[in-house]
Copies of this chain bind each other. A is one copy, B any other.
């Protein structure tokens, strides 16, 4: 590992550039089951503000992780869907989820309360 330090780092950083931040991992967790509308995402990702959700979705779209489908209807109808490329992120999400689950168990075994795990949701209750 000592010889490959730099590329090791760069890969990690490139990944964080795409799926880092407070909301992107949560959003991606809810996009595996198929196309989803922003309103539904707001419902299942409690606490996210409409603006930030839009921002994050646009960035994921720009990075080709998700696709935006617009249906020309009134009221507007938009769906976001993970791309084929986006699905390759699953390995990372699964590795993170798995380690995190283990950590949660660890903390619970030590009698510690596991906070900080889910962003508070107050406001934007729907």
Binding site for B on A (CB under 8 A): 1-2, 5, 7-18, 20, 25-26, 29-30, 32-33, 44, 85, 88-89, 91-104, 106, 114, 116-118
Contacts and interface: CB of A to CB of B under 8 A. Distances in A.
B10 A100 contact: yes
Contact of A118 (B9, B93, B95): B9
Query: Copies of this chain, how many?
Result: 2
A100 B2 contact: no
Contact of A13 (B20, B25, B33): B25
Given A92-B99, A99-B89, A13 B1 contact: no
A18 B99 CA distance: 10
A99 B20 CA distance: 13
Nearest to A7: B101
Q: Which 8 A-B pairs have the closest CB atoms?
A: A11-B100, A14-B100, A11-B97, A15-B100, A95-B95, A11-B101, A15-B96, A2-B33
Contacts of A10: 100-101, 104, 117-118
A15 B81 CA distance: 25
